[in-house]
Amino acid sequence: MELSRPKIIIRADGNAQMGMGHIHRTLALADYLSEVFEIEFCLLNADDLCSVLIQNKNYKIINLKDPDYSNPKIFLKEIDTSSIVVIDGYNFRTEYQKAIMENGNKVVAIDDLNEWEQVADVVINHGYSAPKNDYLVSKRTKLYTGLDYVLLKKEFIEATFTGKRNLKKNILVCIGGTDPKNYSKKILEELLSKTDKQIHLITYSNNAHFDELKSIAEKNWGRVKLHESVSTIEMVNLILENDLAILQPSNIALEAASLGIYIGLIKTAENQKFILESLLSKNCAEEVDENNISVRVNSVSENEILKQIENQNKLIDKKSPARIQTIFTSLALEIRKVKKEDSEILFKWANDPLTRSNSYNQTEINYDSHVNWLSKKVVDENSCFLIVEWNKIPAGTVRIDCSEKENVIGITMASEFRGKKLSATMLDKACNYFFDNFNKQEITAYIKEGNNTSLKTFERAGFKVMDKNEYFGTKSYRLIKIK
């Protein structure tokens, strides 16, 4: 059975004036989630470049004709209340977020400034490495910061870190695809006049200075190659094929660091401050003087290059897609208490062959006994008995039975939801519900020895293996999760 897919609406904009960073970043996010969620983008007056980038990934586009920044109703009338909304941009501030949430939608904010209160359900800032208590978020907002949540396109996640740079002949320059202040021209002219390097410049055709840059490249065709609107694979190859990189501290710098190359950074906008600080603090890049880049390019040593690359190899573990998926899966899962009316579906799940084989009591369950047991269980104050729903469809149950000795958890998945990577998130949400509603500090799980799939699932949900012992006459792992 194909998994029912909840919808994510990504509200972001990009053009020659504001740049394309929000679009590229949210495209990376979309690629992490598209197997499990239906993805749509919503843009204000999308230009051809944005439209092509998004449509090439087969994502639908909602094109707003009127500005919605001060009137979120323009956006809200285009979506339904069940969609998860992702916002990435500097016009989607506190009141805009409140309006979406009051509409009934869950909201994820992608932030890189920390300059206004974020009230979204989730905030992600992959460049931020300062103390979390300094972040402007509401008490109910879940905040995820740092490079564990880096939004790199899958091609960079899957590429091999090489870190081999034995020459210093080729320089990659990318100061944003649109570069409205034309830093690219200044850098090109200095590198041409004061170095002997080969230069590869990345830009977009919607760069207001494109013709000027193209003219410089044509006049210096032996040393300058202009790369226009490159694909992600082309970007990977350009980073791998060059020796040095002069970049702005945006996602392109993180992409370069994920592959291993000397990076000189030029800050061109305030929203780059956190990535700049993060890379500099870990000695994975250095800031260069925009007025005197050639001095550093000519003087940097092979040892300095290799040391920087060595640090970059420790920077990004490339597990962020799984972490991001878990965040969104958790938003799409809903928990409710089990009711007597759930008797039929619970009976079906309980007698599923795989469920019975993994249970400590493998005897098939009698329906009348089941109904009698359930009628008592739903009113048992010592039992936390929950159904977890995916996109409004029951996906399984989690039950935690309390005693003076321990609080034992168990999970049952509907057969059609097995293998969909939901179990660990279901367990985590159920545990959080339990800790919030019961005066208890820990939860115990018992997993039969040899059931490695369940063991790994519980470990992903935050349980720690304590020991092995007998449980109902069967050798089992005992795991604990602490509040």
- DSSP, collapsed to helix, strand or coil, labels residue 446 as strand
Q: What is the rounded average pLDDT of the residues 308-317? A: 96
Angstrom distance (rounded) from CA 263 to CA 281: 14
Beta bridge partners of 294: none
421 in Cβ contact with 329 (< 8 Å):
yes
Which domains, from first to last, does the chain contain? 7-151 (3.40.50.11190), 156-312 (3.40.50.2000), 333-482 (3.40.630.30)
Angstrom distance (rounded) from CA 13 to CA 23: 7
Token pair belonging to 10:
């990504």
pLDDT at 364 over 90: no
Token pair belonging to 5:
């897919």
Least confident residue range of 291-300, 349-358, 460-469: 349-358
- CA triple 283-289-294, angle to 5 deg: 100
pLDDT value for 222: 93
pLDDT value for 2: 64
pLDDT value for 385: 97
Strands (E), 13-77: 38-44, 60-64
When comparing pLDDT for 477 and 48, which is higher? 477
Q: Could you tell me how many residues make up the chain?
A: 483
pLDDT at 463 over 60: yes
- DSSP, collapsed to helix, strand or coil, labels residue 121 as coil
pLDDT value for 204: 87
Which strand ranges, in their side-by-side order, compose the sheet holding 198-203? 224-228, 198-203, 170-174, 244-247, 262-265, 286-287
pLDDT at 363 over 90: no
Q: What is the rounded average pLDDT of the residues 179-189? A: 94
Per-residue pLDDT tens digits for 70-88: 999 999 999 999 999 999 9
Closest among 1, 4, 105 to 392, alpha carbons compared: 4
pLDDT value for 261: 96
Token pair belonging to 450:
């040899």
- Phi and psi (nearest 5°) for 350? -65, -30
Task: Please state whether beta strands 142-145 and 122-125 pair in parallel, antiparallel, or not at all (unpaired).
Answer: parallel
pLDDT at 213 over 60: yes
> Sign of the C-alpha dihedral, residues 379, 384, 387, 392?
positive
Tell me the average pLDDT of the chain.
Answer: 94
Q: What is the rounded average pLDDT of the residues 250-276? A: 96
Closest among 73, 85, 75 to 122, alpha carbons compared: 85
209 in Cβ contact with 184 (< 8 Å):
yes
Per-residue pLDDT tens digits for 129-156: 999 999 999 999 999 999 999 999 999 9
Q: What is the pTM of this model?
A: 0.90
- Phi and psi (nearest 5°) for 373? -65, -45
Per-residue pLDDT tens digits for 319-333: 999 999 999 999 999
Q: Which residues contact 405 (CB under 8 A, 6 or more apart)?
A: none
328 in Cβ contact with 37 (< 8 Å):
yes
Angstrom distance (rounded) from CA 471 to CA 327: 33
Query: How big is the chain by its Cα radius of gyration, in Å?
Result: 26
Q: What is the rounded average pLDDT of the residues 98-105? A: 98
**% of the chain surpassing 90 pLDDT:** 85
pLDDT at 1 over 80: no
Place of tokens 């999760």: 481
Place of tokens 């994820």: 108
Angstrom distance (rounded) from CA 214 to CA 30: 32
